[in-house]
A and B are shown apart, each in its own frame.
Chain A
Amino acid sequence: MLRDKYATEIDALLARFPQRKSAVLHLMHLAQSEYGYLSEEAMREVADIVGVDATHVLSLAGFYSLFYEEPVGRYVLEVCNDLACALRGADEFVDMASRKLDIPVEGTTNDGLFTLKTVMCLGGCDRAPMLQCNLKFYENLDESKFEALIAELRAKAAADPEPSVVERIIGYVAQVS
């Protein structure tokens, strides 16, 4: 349970805001990085902590594109193929990534490691093609850099059973005591 595991951090987070409901997105980020996606249970947990209706958290999950309501791969590769990147080869890059991983866009590899998605502008247009993977940017990519990234992530997954970006997220929450 988030409440028990991150009690101090969650208390510090809630104390930041004049109204605790404001902490909801932060807690959803935390829940998603802890569980890999926002299951109904995870959303109910968040709702309980914040003190809102679970349906409210559900509607937020549908509204914001960074939240996944279905299980996804351990690494979610989100390639920007919005206009500025597409002018510099992003659509071709997506096709290449899809071929290399042997999955369509929105698909997940059989080993559960990678999900491929396309997204709108990420603010890295001057370094296209680029992608975001678990809230980290990889920029100025090409086919060989993409292969190297995939290899690196596979190796990381093999070496380290602990997934996710929870360390970073909890880092933000914990900054202020």
Chain B
Amino acid sequence: MAHVLLRHRDIEDLHKLDVYRRNGGYDGLKKALGMTRAEVIDVVKASNLRGRGGAGFPTGLKWSFIPKNAPETYVLINTDESETGTFKDRELIERNPHQVIEGALIAAYAVNSRLVFNYIRGEYMDAAWAFEEALRECREAGIVGRGIMGSDVDIEFYTHFGAGAYICGEETALIESLAGNLGQPWSKPPFPAVEGLYRKPTVVNNTETLANVPGILVNGPDWFKSTGTEDSPGNKIVCISGHVTTPGNYEVPLGTTYRELLAMAGGMKDGKAFKAILPSGGSGPIITEDALDAACSYDGLTPFRSVMGSASVIVMDETTDMVWAALKMIHFFRHESCGKCTPCREGTFWMEKVLHRIYDGHGTEADIKLLESVANNMTGKCLCALGEFATSPVLSSIRHFLPEYKAKVSTAAQQAARESVPVAMVGR
């Protein structure tokens, strides 16, 4: 299958402007500049492209929320990519940067924005050189800057760096961070399309989302919808990691099953038996064998009480201790909670503490109940989705692997017996 997003795998040196242009590069932008802004939005709407950053919001619709006559608007590319198991946007900015730039320029034209920022996580500073080099080529060629591609449209474009905070991938936290504030989310509304960066209407799109846009302009919405499923059209980059033979990024039509994804990654490493998948990095519930024939799409995992998210598929084999895996994940969320709301800050702290106790063999059966109750108490009470994300590996691992938890904890009677010893000795 020819790649649509990871095209650099088929075309050598695609990161260079001349090669990119020889292969149809910036034709989408050129076409967009010949259309009205509303027409561009309509084409993207008709394609039913949905956000690749996790939430799946329709991209054209998002753009259409930007007030038509706003004097100042911004487009922000979200390359914060810090979800455990996610490394797709990195490959795009490193190897196919022009496609991201072109998509963002089309977005900027559509919403009448003169300024684009790519918010790249600080850890990608080295990888981001390729992106910066591509931007430099664009400035030289008149694709970025004043009067882009000979039009009367001015669009400036800068790279911006984060400094290590997963929460800054959340769009309102990203906006705060870019404004120079603490990267803490705000409660929506206001939505960024109404009040975003510097309180001006702002589009935030994931890197991969934008990389889809040039093709849609050139080939039309029907071309885009010819792959994928009806609700989830197009291709998706899936990041496969963990216990597979060949971890990496795989571009597939949405709707591909998890079993097919496993096969693409060379199957289970060292011939071990499959145990479970975290399908959305740490932020979606665990799935097991019974879900392997489900579609990797926006709603494919609904019957299995999980989500595709950004399609970061972490595969675990039979040797994996699921309490350990849940502990790793809750450690991540405790560390990354921005601390703004109490249920998330305290909840992640307690879940880690209790899980640690269970993992170390000092837990009781009551601790399993306690974990569930802490998690359930967070649900619906957190300001942003991180709080919800944090509960899912814990609750889903208990749901699927309760015997593993039980094997680690002592029963109330055992615990009582243990505790009664020193008491008895004191009594003597």
Contact = CB atoms under 8 A, between A and B. Distances in A.
Instruction: Please indicate whether A and B come from the same complex rather than being unrelated chains.
Output: yes
Interface of A: 16, 18-19, 21-26, 28-29, 50, 52, 59-60, 63-67, 82-84, 86-88, 119-128, 132, 135-137, 165, 168-169, 171-172, 175-176
A125 B85 contact: yes
Nearest to B200: A18
Given A64-B162, A122-B123, 10 more contacts: A21-B179, A29-B163, A86-B328, A87-B320, A88-B243, A120-B332, A121-B82, A123-B90, A125-B314, A135-B126
B4 interface: no
B122 A135 contact: yes
B241 A135 contact: no
Query: Which 10 A-B pairs rank lowest in CB-CB distance, beginning with the nearest?
Result: A21-B180, A64-B163, A65-B164, A66-B164, A126-B247, A125-B241, A84-B241, A121-B84, A123-B87, A83-B328
B166 interface: yes
A25 B320 contact: no
Q: Among B139, B177, B338, find the residue whose CB has the most chain A CB atoms closer than 10 A.
A: B177
Q: Is the interface of B mostly helix, strand, loop or mixed?
A: mixed
A69 to B, nearest CB: 13
Contacts of B121: 123
A174 B278 CA distance: 41
7 contacts: A63-B338, A83-B325, A88-B242, A119-B164, A120-B335, A123-B86, A136-B126
Contact of B314 (A16, A18, A83, A135): A83
Given A60-B182, A135-B122, A126 B135 contact: no
Contacts of A16: 158
Interface of B: 72, 81-87, 89-90, 115, 121-129, 132, 135-136, 139, 158-166, 177-183, 198, 239-243, 247-249, 278, 281-282, 314-316, 320, 325, 328-329, 332, 335-336, 338
Given A60-B182, A84-B241, A126-B241, A28 B163 contact: yes
A120 B336 contact: yes
Given A16-B158, A87-B316, A123-B82, A25 B126 contact: no
A128 B240 CA distance: 12
Contacts of A126: 87, 239-241, 247-249
A158 B164 CA distance: 30
B132 A175 contact: yes
A40 B369 CA distance: 46
A87 B241 contact: yes
Contacts of B314: 83-84, 87, 125
Contact of A176 (B83, B158, B164): B158
B243 A87 contact: yes
A176 B85 CA distance: 34
A83 B313 CA distance: 12
Contacts of B123: 66, 122-123, 132, 135
Contact of A83 (B84, B124, B182): B84
B249 A123 contact: no
A165 B125 CA distance: 10
Contacts of B239: 125-126
Contacts of B183: 63-64
A77 to B, nearest CB: 14
A125 B166 contact: no
Contacts of B182: 59-60, 63
